[in-house]
Amino acid sequence: MSRRLANGLLLLVALIWGTTFVAQKLGMDAVGPLAFTGARFLIGALVILPLAWREHLRLQQAGVRLDGRDAVQWIGLGLLLFGGVVLQQIGIEGTSVSNAGFLTALYVPLVPVLASLLGHERPHGVVWLAALASVAGTFLLGGGRFDGFNAGDAWVIVSTLFWAAHVLWVGRVAATKGAPIQLALTQFIVCGVLASLLAPLLEQVTLAGLVMALPAILYGGLLSVGVAYTLQVVAQRHTRPADTAILLSSEIFFAALAGALYLGERLSAIQLAGGALIFASMVGVQLVPAHKADHGVQE
């Protein structure tokens, strides 16, 4: 696969993920966040099941064996995924699609900060600047006042802690056995089953509601969970990390555009400035360290 094609696939992934915020918002008109999450992740698991089986056979032929430690790590990642997805889904119910997209992006500068706090690595100096700029951008996104945020925004912000921890851990786990599709399948099953078990206990789940939300569930399950994740895994093997960061970060703009087109949402000038600041922080935290590393600059 050429680098140009890989970059095109990553842009498609960003488009799918960005527009999925609208599906998540619309789906909440008929079902609760747990029921929606459970249904779409189990559908996503079914989508990639054949790919996971094919990967399993390939690894068997290569003599690669998976053990109990792999299962524990993959289940742990599924629990982190569950936390991030459900908290984000709860937040989307109470905030705009545009805000949810920009606020979710806060996990990007949070990843290296979290890595530093856990003692895994010393981040580049621009990371701390990006983290501060992200906080400022979040404040502006709330309208430039502390009472501009609602409970939905708060839930989305808390979800970024789970996203950051997930991203930090999944990179290390996925590289150990070369089984990214099986890892993804396990995560999807853990997230989908846990949400499905909790939904009847904490929400009112009806067949009529599920049928009404089915288009949004299918969009989120087939495209966002199944197709987009698989395309991301394939494409990232054929392009540079810097390209990946920029292309996937366009998700937040697709989310804002979809919110405007389908839901009539609009951001004020100060909110747009906040979103732009978050985006700049997100790109900077990926590009500056990578650029200096490519040119042999020592930190």
Q: What is the pLDDT of residue 262?
A: 81
pLDDT at 90: 92
Q: Rounded CA gap, 91 and 89, in Å? A: 5
Neighbours of 129 (CB within 10 A): 15
Q: How many CB atoms lie within 10 A of CB 197?
A: 11
Given this model, what pLDDT does residue 232 score? 78
CA distance 170 to 195: 21
**Left, alpha or beta for 144 (phi > 0: left; psi -120 to 50: alpha)?**
left
Q: State the Cα–Cα distance between residues 94 and 92, nearest whole angstrom.
A: 5
3-state secondary structure of 125: helix
Query: Given this model, what pLDDT does residue 121 score?
Result: 60
**Alpha helices (runs of H) in 178-264, residue ranges in sequence order:** 180-202, 207-212, 214-218, 229-235, 241-249, 251-263
* pTM, two decimal places: 0.81
Question: Which residue type sits at 256?
Answer: A
Which amino acid makes up residue 109? P
- Digits of tens for pLDDT over the chain (299 positions)? 777 787 788 889 888 988 888 888 888 888 999 999 999 999 999 999 999 999 889 888 888 787 788 888 889 989 999 999 999 999 988 888 877 877 887 777 777 777 777 765 666 667 677 777 777 777 776 666 655 678 888 898 899 889 888 877 876 776 676 778 888 899 899 999 999 999 999 998 889 999 999 999 999 999 988 888 778 777 766 766 556 666 777 777 788 888 888 888 777 788 778 778 777 776 776 666 554 544 444 44
C-beta neighbour count of 281 within 10 angstroms: 26
Distance of alpha carbon 81 from alpha carbon 185, whole angstroms: 12
- pLDDT score, position 124: 62
What CA–CA distance (Å, rounded) separates 101 from 259?
A: 10
Q: Which CA distances in Å does 141 have to 5, 73, 153, 267, 279? A: 34, 36, 10, 9, 12
Q: From the CB of residue 132, how many other CB atoms can be counted at a distance below 10 Å?
A: 12
Give me the residue label for tokens 């054949």: 50
Per-residue pLDDT of 201-247, as tens digits, reads: 999 888 999 999 999 999 999 998 888 877 877 776 676 655 666 67
Is the Cα dihedral 77, 80, 82, 85 positive or negative?
A: negative
State which amino acid sits at residue 123: P
Nearest to residue 242, comparing CAs of 295, 277, 297, 284?
284
Angle at Cα 17 formed by Cα 147 and Cα 200, nearest 5°? Answer: 75
